Each structure stands twice: as structure tokens, then as C-alpha cells.
Copies of this chain bind each other. A is one copy, B any other.
Amino acid sequence: MTSADHAPHDTHDTHDTHDTHTFAEPAAIADDAPLAPGAALRFAIVGRDAATAARAGVLQTPHGVVRTPVFMPVGTHATVKAVGPDDLEALGASIVLSNTYHLLLRPGAELIARFGGLHGFMRWLHPILTDSGGFQVFSLGKLREVTDAAVSFRSHLDGSNLVMSPESVMQTEALLGADIILPLDECPPYPCSPEVAQAATARTHRWAERALAARVRDDQALFGIPQGSMDAALRAASARVIAALPFDGFSIGGLSVGEPKPLMWEMLEASVSGLPDAKPRHLLGVGSPDDLLEGIARGVDMFDCVLPTRTARTGGLYTPSGRVNIRTARFREEQGPVDVTCDCYTCRTFSAGYLHHLIRAEDDDSKGELLYYRLASIHNLRFLVRLVEGARVAILAGTFAAYRASFQAGFTPPNQEVAAEQRRRRATLG
């Protein structure tokens, strides 16, 4: 593509929110009326795919409407790394996830509460979901001691001693003030013995009941977390146990922890089999572009993952044909955008060659120009948000299976990139 194809844009209008809802919404669900005072959530399924378990929904929260399926950018330290709330709005994010464990350590939930909760602190005035810290305390906490009463651990930042119990996590999340909160759970490692899987799952169930009993605010929706490790029967049973409790929705835990993809999908199906149809389903920590469509096909409504922003920071940018490494020499002279089909601020405004220059511009003061991190993160987030928006349109139009097949036919997943590159080289040489 030539320079003329990538004409300059008037940057005054680049921060308008995308009008991503131009398809016809059934009248009954265009209702964005605020929730009744004290109500935390309303979820309606507004469309289903005939060929898969995919569904389209509308999720109402005290801070606004989320159309599902949805990808939620992750803002671990009360900031989605390198992007501002203005950028998040412009790229079409409707809800972000933040991490209770990290915020508990620093700056502390009481401080955030004094700033008006997470919404006031990070100035994201739209819906927020906080995880419970369960996953992080089992992956980051030092000198961890777990009993049924609580988990005690040392901060990975300063070594201070901390305790998290199902009850204290409810208190912490009430202070953080997210629209959707999760209960403390125990995520077993992968792989693990059947005994460890059983014990972690059973403890997660006991903690779920205690979290419900310790609920603080009626304007926060509480999602239950089914576990079950890599045992399909245990997963289905865990989902049924959690589903029998009065949760507002479900965040499926313990997947994407190192297991092979086919096993992950089998386990996801087992979890979903035990969950009610009418409540929203969130798949914790997934995923990559191809994973999102696979999850949607299995009935998942909500996704979160650090992958798009983390990948962006190392030079990995999504395109419809797969992830590219913007550091490589082939982008040095590229005058077109990273992704000609993308409508993000970065692709509408800058060439791939400029992004290549920014990430390679290193001096004593910096490793890569800071603007790179913002522009790259905006692109990868918009890529996932738009992919999932497209899935929703397709579900409502009855064309989801074709949408998924079309995307997957073009997209080479990252772990297959090297093999594909070798195939291309052989083809060129041969």
C-alpha cells in the first residue's frame, strides 16, 4: 500500500467513541434505563447462534450497559497499562477489570475508597469488575499458608504480612466499589493430583458460601467462581454447586493455567454444562484472538486478559492474519498502518514504519519511545474489542459460525507463527 492510501486524518475527531452499535437492536433490549436503586445487575439474552452455544446479551450495571460478548481490558494497578480512560472510551471498551490483590497491597482499598472508589480514583466512569485476588495470592504471594479460615502470605512487593479471607475480600471489594465483584477462591496449580484438585474445589465452594454471607453492598453484583481443575466431572459438579448459590453470574476459574488448548475447551464445556443459561458467564484470564471466538462459541459472555497489552509492549501486534512483530526490519519502510482493516486511533493515524521507529528509538534515557506503548496497546485492545463486537453482530444476524470460520481461516495463532513462517519461506524458495 502506498502513502496516498494512508491519508492524514483530522486528529480532532480521533477520540470520538466508535459507533459500534449500528446494527438493529431488538426494541426490548435497547432499554438502557438505569437500574433501580440498590439493584446490582440485569442481564438479558437478546440473540443466540443456532449452530453453537454463542449468545448475545445486554448486561446492565450501576455504571452503565455492557453488551455481551465483551472483552474487558485489564487494569491491574487501577490503570490499563499505557492507555488513559479517554483512550479506552475511544477504542470502544465498555468495562475494565482490576485486580484486588494488587490494589490491596498498594495503594490500599481504604485510600481508594476515599477517592470515590476505583471509578473515582482511575476516572473510569463506566462499569468495572474486580477479581478477588485468589488467583494472584496463589501465584504471587510468598510464604503462603492456606487454611479454611484464610490465606496468609507475604506481599511480593515489600514482604509485609497480609491475610485474605472470604469475608475480608468482600470488605476490600466493597471499598473498591466495582460493579461486579468476585469471591475468594483457590485456584489449584496445573498439573496437580486429584486430591489437590478436590480439596481446592471443595474449599472454593465453602468460601463461596461465606462470601455470599459476608456480602457488603447491594449495588455490587457478585459472581461465583466454579473450579474443578482438569477433571471434567469435577468441573461440572463444581459449576452445579456454585450455580445453586444466589450468585448474579459466574467467572469460570482455573483455566488457561498452562494446559493444552483442547483440554481447556473440554474443561470449559464441562463448567458451562453446570451453569444456568440465564446468568452471565465470564471466562477468567482468556485470551488470545482465536480463544475469544472459541469461548464465545461455548457460551461465554465476558473475557479478560493481560495478553493484548503485554504483547503490545514487546512488539507483538495483532492483524487479521496473525500477530506480527513490529520490531522486525520488514516494517521499517512500511507506510501503511499495522492493520489496514483496523479503525483504531493508531491505525487511522500512524504508519507501521513509524511504530517500528518508536519501539526501536532507544537512548540512554529510555528503551523505546514511550508513545509506542500507548499506540500499540490501543491497537491490540481495539483489535480484541472489535473482534468481539463483530461476533455479537454476527450472533444477532445469525452468521456467527461463518464469522468465526472466516476469522480463523485467516488468523495464524501465535504458537503456530514460526511454523507458518517456515512454510512461507519454503514456498518462496521452492
Contact = CB atoms under 8 A, between A and B. Distances in A.
B84 A357 contact: no
A375 B11 contact: no
A125 interface: yes
A349 B12 contact: no
Quick one: copies of this chain in the complex?
A: 2
A8 B125 contact: yes
A276 interface: no
A305 interface: no
B361 A106 contact: yes
- Report the contact-size class of chain A (Cβ under 8 Å from the partner): 35 or more
B370 A86 contact: no
A78 interface: yes
Given A77-B357, A85-B349, A106-B361, A373 B370 contact: yes
B8 A366 contact: no
Given A3-B115, A115-B354, A371 B123 contact: no
A140 to B, nearest CB: 9
Contacts of A15: 12, 14-15, 86
Contacts of A365: 310
A240 interface: no
A107 B353 CA distance: 10
Given A8-B125, A335-B115, A374-B374, A77 B361 contact: yes
Nearest to A309: B370
Contacts of A8: 120, 123, 125
A342 to B, nearest CB: 16
Contacts of A358: 77, 79
Interface string A94-114: 000000001000110001001
A350 B115 contact: no
Nearest to A84: B371
A83 B371 contact: yes
Nearest to A116: B3
Contacts of A349: 85-86, 123
A335 B123 CA distance: 12
A298 interface: no
B106 A360 contact: yes
A172 B351 CA distance: 21
A182 B52 CA distance: 65
Q: Which 6 pairs, one residue from A and one from B, show the smallest C-beta to C-beta distance? A: A82-B370, A77-B361, A15-B15, A79-B371, A11-B86, A107-B357
Interface of A: 3, 8, 11-12, 14-17, 77-86, 89, 102, 106-107, 111, 114-116, 120-123, 125, 157, 310, 332-333, 335, 345, 349-351, 353-354, 357-358, 360-361, 363, 365-366, 369-371, 373-375
Given A79-B369, A84-B374, A106-B361, 20 more contacts: A3-B114, A3-B115, A11-B86, A11-B125, A12-B17, A12-B89, A14-B86, A77-B363, A77-B369, A81-B366, A81-B370, A86-B345, A106-B360, A115-B335, A115-B351, A121-B351, A121-B353, A122-B354, A157-B363, A370-B374
